[in-house]
Amino acid sequence: MTGNNGHKSASRFDALIIGAGFAGLYQLHSLRDKLGLSSVVLEAGDGIGGTWYWNRYPGARCDSESHVYAYYFSDELLTEWEWTERYPAQPEIVRYLEFVANKLDLKRDIRLGTRVVSAHYLEDENRWIVTTEGGTRFEATYLIAATGCLSAANIPAIPGLESFDGEWYHTGQWPHEEVEFRGKAVGQIGTGSTGIQAAPVIAQTAKHLTVFQRTPNFSVPAHNRPLSADFKQYVRESRAEIRKLIRSTTNAHAFKISDRKVFDVSAQEREAIYEAAWEKGGLEFRACFQDLMIDKAANDTAADFLKNKIRKIVKDPETAATLTKIDHPYGTKRPPIDTDYFETFNRENVSLIDVRANPITRITPRGIETTDAAYEFDIIVFATGFDAITGPLLKMDIRGRDGLSIHKAWETGPWTYLGLQIPGFPNLFTITGPGSPSVLTNMPVAIEQHVDWITDCIADMRNNDLARIEPTAAAADAWGEYVNETASATLMPQAGHSWYHGANIPGKPLKFMPYVGGMAHYRTICDDAASRGYEGFTRQAR
Ligand code: NAP
């Protein structure tokens, strides 16, 4: 049976895509409109946007600059959309994705409120059987997980949470209704990129905000501002150059990492370079020198500069000391950027609690207890991050050939080839999966590269009458070793408690998950594998 969109039946498709964020939307467009495959997106949320649908906490804003936080595959989309601020706020990003979905007529093939709970591969039929929370069954030849890297919220198992009499929220599952902080005592746990964005905004209206900090963090000012008419014109006219640039840089941002090394310049010159980067603001700070991420002594100069900035901003010496007890090299945990984060601690209604010194022991009906004190709150905000990269995949019961579960396959950590496919799971593709640059980049660029690669791969299979593709175990082993060696050649492993390693989730196998070798180099590796007849993969006819 063939329906309006070429659907073979109500629930059988060529391709199923899980997730309607940046990745899922472009994947749907590519498979449906470029290849003509019957495709559908299954999305747990009641709206599109993925990460940006869920992360609507106060202050939520992207750290990539807006003009590069966009799809670059379509000149039409680029010319018709205009960002308003240097960094896009969450509502504007959702509006952008709505604009794209409407423009490309994607919504008719997106099933909202449809959470996938399992995906099982039937080898005899070469088909994935996908089941949703509501019990609906879908079938498809290709299954694409566009589930995002930061979508499985981590709510720490602190005893007593269920007894709390007030309201509590995780930033990654923020309610659609406005949360009223006015006149309320608020406790915020977590000082990662999210907490650093949320605290200054919550402090503006809360009666009192208490920030519980376990690991202090570096942060560079965002210097967000409305975009000028001149800049908007530059973006419109220079989109081809910008596209080329973001596809050629290490982190897929519109800036290159400098060639100079920290100790090639005098101390005075170095200070001036850091000062200029601080004044410019944003993630580009890490591009000041080429050796910041590989030479600890070089990194220390950036770390000292940033700690001195905190000491200058924060008036209370004890609070400044707690904020500067930073125990990881700069950039080895995801470096946040902020709007008045450190300034927030100069407010009368804000206090900082060091839970490294005095850990949280439990949550009571009235608030939070640490080893040395009890705090009363009306609202607790968990800015406690995510079960990152693998979490969204492991939340589903995914089973490949012979019933092999993804939990078993990834018992000792994620095992993929190129972060795109897993041995034993034919025709399953993971957009920005573990082992790809993903979270170390400006995500839309990494997403477009993966979607294009997957689309070309499926097109090639169909042109050659091939039914299934999966990587060899040897290719995945070698890739895993290479990803690990590449990370080990940097300072990254020195931040032992980072979510990049999975260290933020108790019991999660420790393995550095993203590929640090740079987006441009990674693109070449993927293209080379494809051009050598999908080297490292096994492809089979029916
Ligand atoms: P995160 O970086 O994992 O930070 C979570 C925070 O919660 C950390 O300070 C962590 O402390 C703390 N925490 C977790 N469990 C705790 C516990 N039981 N007790 C006390 N503290 C606890 O998560 P995130 O801030 O949500 O950021 C995750 C990633 O999302 C970012 O790194 C970034 O890639 C992305 N993000 C991007 C943007 C943006 O572009 N604007 C904004 C937000 C997030 P420890 O460090 O000690 O574990």
Compute, in angstroms, the gap from residue 37 CA to the centroid of ligand 1.
39
For position 10, what pLDDT does the model report?
54
Burial environment of residue 76 by CB neighbours within 10 A (0 to 12, 13 to 18, 19 or more): exposed
Q: Whose C-alpha lies nearest to ligand 1, atom 15?
A: 384
Choose one of 149, 151, 168, 334 to mutate for the ligand 1 pocket test, by most ligand atoms within 8 angstroms of C-beta. 334
Angle at 539 (CA atoms; ends 537, 541), nearest 5 degrees: 175
What are the structure tokens assigned to 106, written together?
Answer: 């994607």
**What is the value of pTM for the model shown?**
0.97
Helix (H) or strand (E) holding 397, with range, is strand 397-399
Output the CA 382–ligand 1 centroid distance in Å. Answer: 9
Residue 189 bridge partners (DSSP): 212, 382
Supply the mean pLDDT for the chain: 96
pLDDT of residue 219: 98
Interacting residues of 398 by C-beta distance below 8 A, sequence separation 6+? 118, 119, 120, 405, 406, 425, 428
Whether the predicted pLDDT of 1 surpasses 70: no
pLDDT of residue 497: 81
Nearest CA to ligand 1 atom 32: 334
Model pLDDT for residues 445-491, shown as the tens digit of each residue: 999 999 999 999 999 999 999 999 999 999 999 999 999 999 999 99
At 500, list the tokens: 């990049």
Q: What is the SS3 string spanning 115-149?
A: CEEEEEEECCCCEEEEEECCCCEEEEEEEEECCCC
- pLDDT confidence band for 431 (50 / 70 / 90): very high
Which residues, 6+ apart, have CB-to-CB distance to 292 below 8 Å?
262, 286, 298, 299, 302, 330, 331
Mean pLDDT of 119-129: 97
Whether 437 has a pLDDT exceeding 50, the answer reads yes
pLDDT in tens, 205-238: 999 999 999 999 999 999 999 999 999 999 999 9
pLDDT(3) > 60: no
Indicate the DSSP class of residue 296: H
Cα 462 to ligand 1 centroid, rounded to whole Å: 42
pLDDT at 6 over 60: no
Closest C-alpha to ligand 1, atom 48: 504
The SS3 assignment for 376 reads strand
Quick one: which atom of ligand 1 is closest to the CA of 156?
Answer: 18
pLDDT digits (tens, 9 = 90+) for 270-314: 999 999 999 999 999 999 999 999 999 999 999 999 999 999 999
Backbone angles phi, psi at 8, to 5 degrees: -75, -30
Tokens of 115: 């959470």
In the β-sheet with 185-189, what is the strand arrangement from edge to edge? 167-170, 379-382, 185-189, 208-213, 350-354
Which of 57, 174, 193 is the best mutation target for the ligand 1 pocket, counting ligand atoms within 8 Å of the beta carbon and taking the most?
193
Tell me: pLDDT of 112 over 90. yes
pLDDT confidence bin for 63, thresholds 50/70/90: very high
Beta-ladder partners of 389: none
Q: In the block, which residue shows the tokens 């097109």?
A: 459
Report which ligand 1 atom has the smallest distance to the Cα of 337.
41
259 CA from centroid of ligand 1 (Å): 31
The dihedral sign for the CA sequence 55, 61, 64, 67:
positive
Residue with token string 């590269």: 449
Assign 496 a pLDDT band (cuts: 50, 70, 90): confident
Task: Determine which helix (DSSP H) or strand (DSSP E) holds 391, and give its type and residue range.
Answer: helix 391-394
Interatomic CA distance for residues 303 and 368, integer angstroms:
32
Return the sign of the alpha-carbon dihedral for residues 184, 223, 445, 536.
negative
pLDDT at residue 145 tops 70:
yes
Give the span between the Cα atoms of 208 and 349, in whole angstroms: 5
| CB contact at 8 A, 50 and 20 | yes
pLDDT bracket for residue 7 (50, 70, 90): very low
**For range 19-48, the mean pLDDT:** 98
Task: Find the farthest-apart pair of alpha carbons in the chain and give their distance in angstroms, rounded.
Answer: 73
Residue pair 246/253 in contact (Cβ under 8 Å)? The answer is yes
Residue nearest to atom 17 of ligand 1 (CA): 156
| Residue ranges lining ligand 1, Cβ < 6 Å | 61-63, 150, 156, 189-195, 197, 212, 214-215, 334, 355, 360, 383-386, 439, 497, 499, 504
